[in-house]
Amino acid sequence: MAQTVSVILPAEDRSQLAAVIGDRNRAQKHVRRAQIILYSADRLPVLDVARRSGVSRPAVWRWQQRYAEEGIDGVLRDKTRKPGREPLPPETVAKVLALPCSEAPGTATHWTGRAVAKAVGVSLRTVQRIWEAHRLQPHRLRTFKMSRDPAFAEKVEDVVGLYMAPPCHAVVLSINEKSPGANVYRERQALTQALDRTQPGLPLKPGKCQTMTHDYKRNGTTTSDFACRNQTAFRLCLPRSMCWTAPCSADA
């Protein structure tokens, strides 16, 4: 590409380009383009214009041609380009946003980015960009508790005060519920509880996390015992008031 135009700059365009160069808040690319046009209007050789502006000669020719065709607006505006890849259809974006707000698959507690990407057929990074744009955060959970106890403040002061200013020679005991037979064959036992939150929480939606109370209803425990006999395993699920552990043979 060689120089094919001669820049003739009106007084109005010259003052406008000079204002662009003097504006300290302007982008540097606009300043370089204005310098190219002003130097070209002063009849400087292309090599001098390129050296003073800090660009190559093809760049000088390109902006001279752009100014001749479109004027100041063409110099200060970038031409639009086609995107590198096709944008996602609105149906796909809606599905990426709807899945985390629905019930989690299988035994999962919530939808993960990889699970949504596999279900929809897009990449993990695409899912992350859509969630970030719509402020959707399925991995976050906000806990709350609204107590109806009229003496709640006094109880909190008693508990917190015990740690902040304990009495002299104080001993604090913590008691946890366990099955009566949890100390026997503990490696073959598991305590299960049906956990249900004390108050209903709000579901996940764009811009807000899912909420749930930090405590749960205590429905008691049931003991799941595993016994081994003649290389055969069976499980006994007993009521919470009973506990029985089957003996395990030595060769199992």
pLDDT digits 0-9 by tens, 119-146:
999 999 999 999 999 888 887 777 767 7
In a domain, 252, yes or no: no
In a domain, 233, yes or no: yes
Tally of domains in the chain: 3
Q: What is the mean pLDDT of residues 14-42?
A: 90
Do 150 and 233 sit in the same domain of this protein?
yes
SS3 annotation, the chain: CCCCCCCCCCHHHHHHHHHHHHCCCCCHHHHHHHHHHHHHHCCCCHHHHHHHHCCCHHHHHHHHHHHHHHHHHHHHCCCCCCCCCCCCCHHHHHHHHHHHHCCCCCCCCCCCHHHHHHHHCCCHHHHHHHHHHCCCCCCCEEEECCCCCCCHHHHHHHHHHHHHCCCCCCCCCCCCCCCCCCCCCHHHEEEECCCEECCCCCCCECCECEEEECCEECCCCEEEEEEEECCEEEEEEECCCCCCCCCCCCCC
- Rounded mean pLDDT of the chain? 76
Do 48 and 17 sit in the same domain of this protein?
yes
Do 34 and 100 sit in the same domain of this protein?
no
In a domain, 4, yes or no: no
Do 41 and 64 sit in the same domain of this protein?
yes
Nearest Cα to Cα of residue 207 among 124, 102, 135, 122? 135
- pLDDT, position 140: 77
Residue predicted with more confidence, 179 or 144: 144
Q: Pick from 76, 105, 122: which residue ends a domain?
A: 76
Instruction: Check: CB of residue 27 under 8 Å from CB of residue 87.
Output: no
Do 134 and 151 sit in the same domain of this protein?
no
- pLDDT, position 124: 93
Do 203 and 158 sit in the same domain of this protein?
yes
Give 177's pLDDT tier (boundaries 50, 70, 90).
Answer: low
pLDDT at 202 over 80: no
- pLDDT, position 252: 41
This prediction has a pTM of 0.40
Q: Which range is least confidently modeled, 84-98, 156-170, 193-207, 227-241?
A: 227-241
Instruction: Check: CB of residue 72 under 8 Å from CB of residue 12.
Output: no
Do 64 and 105 sit in the same domain of this protein?
no
In a domain, 175, yes or no: yes
In a domain, 58, yes or no: yes
**Domain limits at 26?**
11-76
Digit-coded pLDDT (tens) for 206-242: 777 777 776 666 665 555 544 445 444 444 444 544 4
Do 59 and 94 sit in the same domain of this protein?
no
Q: Rounded distance, CA 113 to CA 206, Å?
A: 15
